[in-house]
Amino acid sequence: MRDDPRIGELRAGALAVAPLLVGVIPFGLVAGAAPVDSHLGGGIAVGLSTVVFAGASQLAMVDVLGGGGSVLVAVITAWTINLRLMLYSASLSPFVAREPLARRGWMAYLLTDQAYAVSITRWSGGGHAAAPERRVPFYLGAALTLWVNWQICTVVGVLIGNAIPDSLPIEFAVPLVFLVLLVPALTSVPAVMAALFGGGAAVVCGELGGANLAVVAGAVAGITAGVVAEHLRDGPARREATP
Amino acid sequence: MNRLWLAVALGGAGTFSMRASFLLAAHRMADVPPLVQRILRQIPAAALASIVVPAFVRPDGRFSLWTPELAAGALAALVAWRTRSSILTLVVGMVVLVALDAL
């Protein structure tokens, strides 16, 4: 049991997201505190964190509902912000194609920016860590750690409010850790193009007032740039080994 | 009150649908056409950059190349590139940002 590689992957997944937790904690506290401050109640805070489980969209919903906005506006805002999760779902799919349906179901429920980022980095890297039987344990280690952390922070936020002063910019930890995942991925011209056009389009989308769709717009632009760059380099796509 | 729980339920259902969209159909993704593979391959760099770049040049919702976040991020990128260490990158990036904010 102790030598089971799956246990090692579980631990590796948890370790991989550990630095991200630093940045997620204040966000989770706000997810708990904001609904209380907006007089929506602690129950709604916990409901949002367990049922929706997606920070930016939770805060947007609290903003709309707390300000007297309609259910429809709140829900559509949340869906818009979470559209990017479809891209992650697509990106992970080929790697878990042979897993049972129920397992893919809970993987979907636990899908977050952070769990996606560490898992796709791990699985794209090749070698032992990318072996099919090791994928789900790594994902579970990462995603479940984030989930538990999120629920605890929400409850703490409900009970004592946001205990972290605004002057401490620890949310910045999230883009910093994503940077560590992004940099090693920039090993080819197409990947660099995907990142340049992706980042650029995300900024432009935000400037045009569409910050909720910035990641989706960036991803679409980045994917297009990467595909064009690969086409120019290698010609039409050819069949290759599946992951 | 029920209005709020309706929003939670609908928000959650839609969000789960997006998360599940491709994962629940993944058994059909074991052998995808080459062009689809090529498209999927671009997602990590494109999506990560879409999160990271605005955090550096639009930290307060307004574009600027003169932000402490960009300076801290540039230095952190150098550390990330040389060391591949999350912890070291995190520490350098945060320390530089806090120091610049204090100036």
Predicted pLDDT of residue A169? 83
CB pairs under 8 A between A and B: 293
Predicted pLDDT of residue A2? 58
Report ipTM for this prediction.
Answer: 0.93
Q: Where are the domains of chain A?
A: 5-171, 186-243
Q: Model-level pTM? A: 0.93
List the pLDDT tens digit at each of the 243 positions of chain A. 556 888 999 999 999 999 999 889 999 999 999 999 999 999 999 999 999 999 999 999 999 999 999 999 999 999 999 999 999 999 999 999 999 999 999 999 999 999 999 999 999 988 888 899 999 999 999 999 999 999 999 999 999 988 787 777 888 999 999 999 999 889 899 999 999 999 999 999 999 999 999 999 999 999 999 999 999 999 988 877 666
Dist CA A90 CA A85 (whole Å): 9
Predicted pLDDT of residue A92? 97
Q: Where are the domains of chain B?
A: 2-102
Residues of chain B with pLDDT under 70: 1
* Closest residue of chain B to A45, computed from CA coordinates: B8
Predicted pLDDT of residue A168? 77
Selected for mutation to probe chain A from B6, B8, B56 (highest A CB count within 10 Å) is B8
DSSP at B30: T
B85/chain A closest Cα distance in angstroms: 7
Whether residues A96 and B25 touch (CB distance < 8 A) is answered with no
Selected for mutation to probe chain A from B17, B52, B98 (highest A CB count within 10 Å) is B52
Distances from the Cα of B19 to the Cαs of A26, A125, A179, B16, B75, in angstroms?
24, 23, 23, 5, 34
Predicted pLDDT of residue A98? 93
B32/chain A closest Cα distance in angstroms: 8
A163/chain B closest Cα distance in angstroms: 18
User: What single-letter amino acid sits at A184?
Assistant: P
Selected for mutation to probe chain A from B22, B50, B52 (highest A CB count within 10 Å) is B50
How long a stretch of residues is chain A? Answer: 243
Whether residues B24 and A61 touch (CB distance < 8 A) is answered with no
Q: How would DSSP label each residue in chain A?
A: -TT-HHHHHHHHHHHHHHHHHHHHHHHHHHHHHHHHHTTS-HHHHHHIIIII--HHHHHHHHHHHHTT--HHHHHHHHHHHHTHHHHHHHHHGGGGTTS-HHHHHHHHHT--HHHHHHHHHHHHT-SGGG-HHHHHHHHHHHHHHHHHHHHHHHHHHHHH---S-TTS-GGGHHHHHHHHHHHHH--SHHHHHHHHHHHHHHHHHHHTT-GGGHHHHHHHHHHHHHHHHHHHHH-S-------
Nearest to A179 among B26, B44, B73 (CB): B73
Whether residues A195 and B85 touch (CB distance < 8 A) is answered with no
